[in-house]
Amino acid sequence: MASKSSEAAPNLKIVFNRAKHGNALTTSMISHLTELFESAQSDPSITRIALAAHGTFFCTGMDLGKGISPVAQGGDEADAQYSRLKRLFEAIDNAPQVTIACLQGPAFAGGVGLAFACDIRLMTTTASIRLSEVRIGLAAATISKYVIRELGAAFAREAMLSARMVTAQELFRLGKVATVIEDSIDPQAAVDDYLVRLRQCAPRASTLTKVLVRLSWLEGGGGEKQEIGIRQVFDEMMADDSESKYGLHQFQSKAKECDWDAYTLSKTRNKARL
- Of 142, 173, 199, the position where a domain reaches its end is 199
In a domain, 2, yes or no: no
Phi, psi of 50 (to 5 degrees): -120, 135
Phi, psi of 242 (to 5 degrees): -85, 170
In a domain, 1, yes or no: no
Give the burial class of 38: count Cβ atoms within 10 A of its Cβ; 0-12 exposed, 13-18 middle, 19 or more buried. middle
Of 29, 3, 25, 32, the residue nearest 15 (C-alpha): 3
In this structure, the answer to whether residues 139 and 243 fall within a common structural domain is no
In a domain, 80, yes or no: yes
- Of 184, 199, 214, the position where a domain reaches its end is 199
- What is the residue type of 182? E
Q: pTM value?
A: 0.91
Question: How many structural domains compose the chain?
Answer: 2
Q: How far is the CA of 114 from the CAs of 140, 146, 224, 248, in angstroms?
A: 12, 9, 32, 36
In this structure, the answer to whether residues 190 and 212 fall within a common structural domain is no
pLDDT-derived band of residue 1, with 50, 70 and 90 as boundaries?
very low
In this structure, the answer to whether residues 28 and 158 fall within a common structural domain is yes
214: pLDDT strictly greater than 80: yes
- Of 199, 218, 248, the position where a domain reaches its end is 199
The range of the structural domain enclosing residue 69 comes to: 11-199
In a domain, 30, yes or no: yes
Q: How far is the CA of 117 from the CAs of 120, 141, 142, 167, in angstroms?
A: 9, 14, 11, 18
Q: Any idea what the CATH number is for the domain that residue 75 is in?
A: 3.90.226.10
Q: Is the dihedral of CA 136, 137, 142, 143 positive or negative?
A: positive
pLDDT at 69 (0 to 100):
62
80: pLDDT strictly greater than 80: yes
In this structure, the answer to whether residues 62 and 82 fall within a common structural domain is yes
Interval 156-200: pLDDT, tens: 999 999 999 999 999 999 999 999 999 999 999 999 999 999 999
In this structure, the answer to whether residues 127 and 145 fall within a common structural domain is yes
